[in-house]
């Protein structure tokens, strides 16, 4: 897949109408609807400002939540329009529909330097189905398409890929940053290249491990998925998370790593508990886990082993926590990993989702080279999959 795409810097937008796909899928208070984190809105500002300063009239669009084609007032983008106008220090015109009369009239009247935000794209069922008529109606309002929602580029939706059939498509600054940093890490990494994978399930990371075995020098496995690998090696894992149907795959991966000369590191000790609870008492176990205990986090020896493995790395990619980090007693492994990355001196990339929240929650975010804005998208990126919302952009 070609990651070298034309960006907003490669097109003259002066006097043009630009359809800009943003990721304004912000967390909200379920009761009040108040935005609890505006990080995704803030992340879109550089591209918006650049386009407005260059004399474009910008028609921004995004989804919010999962309305599944139903008009749900609680999932309206109106609060986003309000917050965006505060951050930009200028009025954000808001359309009460997506491609209806209000949106079309406001888009037609939009002047250079002005910003319009359309209502939640997913209020229309055709958005997620990549309906050609819906994509064309969106495209008809503009002359250029800019994709700046990395969190959605793995989806072939009308606003992420469909509109590119009708408009020249460029990447925004956020998508460009993701593609250049993550693309380079996978295609031409500074070595040694270390991949750290955690999270609950092996099945979520099958293609990632497969792809990284071709590229990495060391693969580190932690989190719930490690227990399937430990079982495959013949260890007792007690009541730990196990995907029995993935045992053969786990054996194959361990053998493949050995054949390729890739270091494949698994936990040597674990913090275990009798039940899955924040109040459970941690029990440190080396070797076989007793039948009545489950692994909840990597132990101190493992944390040291993993930290040692990332020392001196040139590039480190991390996706997935090392344990049940949302329980304080079992957050130590994830914390140790975040600290090791922060102190490594390597190019460090943290895939979105849980590992990104962990790094931010633990206070190491400012010491990481790049924290991806897309959970699912960064995972599919690591799998080496073609991302529809990137494939549709113009090549440089």
Domain ranges of the chain: 8-175, 189-383
Q: Is 376 a catalytic residue?
A: yes
Q: How far is 20 from 169, CA to CA, in rounded Å?
A: 10
pLDDT for residue 352: 65
pLDDT for residue 338: 93
Q: How far is 80 from 289, CA to CA, in rounded Å?
A: 49
Print burial letters for 288-298: b (CB count within 10 Å at least 16), e (below 16).
ebeeebbbbbb
- In the set 17, 21, 40, 106, the catalytic residue is 40
Q: Please state, for a pLDDT cut of 70, what percent of the chain lies above it.
A: 100
- In the set 295, 320, 353, 389, the catalytic residue is 353
Q: Is 295 a catalytic residue?
A: no
Q: How far is 178 from 172, CA to CA, in rounded Å?
A: 10
Q: Is 260 a catalytic residue?
A: no
Strands 115-117 and 92-94: parallel
At the second CATH level, the architecture of 189-383 is 3-Layer(aba) Sandwich (3.40)
- In the set 201, 361, 367, 385, the catalytic residue is 201
- 278-285 average pLDDT score: 97
Query: How far lies 113's CA from each of 41, 87, 88, 122, 262, in Å?
Result: 18, 15, 12, 27, 53
The SS3 assignment for 58 reads strand
pLDDT tens digit string along 114-155?
999 999 999 999 999 999 999 999 999 999 999 999 989 999
Fold entry, domain 8-175: Rossmann fold (3.40.50)
CB 306 within 8 A of CB 275: no
- 69-77 average pLDDT score: 95
- In the set 100, 113, 131, 376, the catalytic residue is 376
Q: Which of 337, 315, 239, 274 is nearest to 231 (CA)?
A: 239
Q: Is 190 a catalytic residue?
A: no
Tell me if domain 8-175 and domain 189-383 are identical in fold. yes
pTM of the model: 0.85
Residue owning tokens 């914390």: 335
Q: How far is 374 from 371, CA to CA, in rounded Å?
A: 9
Q: How far is 155 from 80, CA to CA, in rounded Å?
A: 22
At 358, list the tokens: 């962990």
At 22, list the tokens: 């943003």
């Amino acid at each position: 897949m070609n990651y070298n795409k034309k960006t907003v810097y490669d097109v003259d937008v002066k006097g043009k109408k630009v359809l800009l796909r943003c990721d304004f899928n912000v967390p909200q208070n379920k009761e009040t609807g108040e935005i609890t984190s505006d990080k995704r809105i803030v992340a879109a500002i550089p591209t918006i400002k650049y386009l407005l300063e260059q004399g474009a009239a910008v028609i921004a669009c995004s989804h919010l939540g999962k309305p599944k084609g139903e008009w749900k007032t609680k999932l309206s983008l109106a609060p986003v329009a309000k917050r965006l106008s505060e951050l930009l220090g200028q009025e954000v015109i808001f359309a009460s529909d997506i491609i209806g009369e209000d949106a079309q009239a406001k888009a037609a009247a939009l002047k250079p330097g002005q910003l319009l935000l359309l209502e939640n794209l997913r209020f229309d069922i055709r958005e997620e189905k990549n309906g050609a008529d819906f994509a064309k109606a969106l495209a008809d309002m503009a002359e250029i398409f800019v994709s700046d929602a990395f969190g959605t580029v793995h989806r072939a939706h009308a606003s992420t890929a469909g509109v590119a059939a009708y408009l020249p498509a460029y990447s925004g600054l956020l998508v460009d940053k993701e593609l250049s940093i993550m693309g380079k890490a996978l295609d031409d990494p500074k070595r040694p290249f270390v991949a750290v994978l955690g999270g609950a399930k092996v099945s979520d990371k099958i293609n990632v491990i497969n792809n990284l075995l071709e590229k990495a020098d060391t693969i580190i496995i932690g989190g719930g998925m490690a227990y399937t690998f430990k079982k495959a090696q013949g260890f007792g894992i007690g009541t730990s998370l196990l995907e029995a149907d993935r045992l053969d795959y786990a054996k194959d991966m361990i053998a493949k790593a050995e054949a390729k000369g890739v270091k494949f590191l698994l936990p040597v000790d674990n913090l275990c508990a009798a039940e899955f609870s924040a109040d459970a008492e941690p029990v440190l176990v080396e070797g076989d886990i007793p039948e009545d205990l489950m692994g909840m986090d990597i132990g101190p020896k493992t944390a040291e082993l993993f930290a040692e493995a990332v020392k001196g790395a040139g590039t480190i990619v991390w996706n997935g926590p090392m344990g049940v980090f949302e329980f304080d007693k079992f957050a130590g492994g994830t914390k140790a990993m975040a600290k090791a990355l922060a102190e490594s001196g390597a190019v460090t990339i943290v895939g979105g989702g849980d590992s990104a929240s962990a790094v931010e929650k633990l206070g190491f975010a400012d010491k990481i080279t790049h924290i991806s804005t897309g959970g699912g998208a960064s995972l599919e990126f690591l799998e080496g999959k073609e991302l529809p919302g990137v494939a549709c952009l113009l090549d440089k």
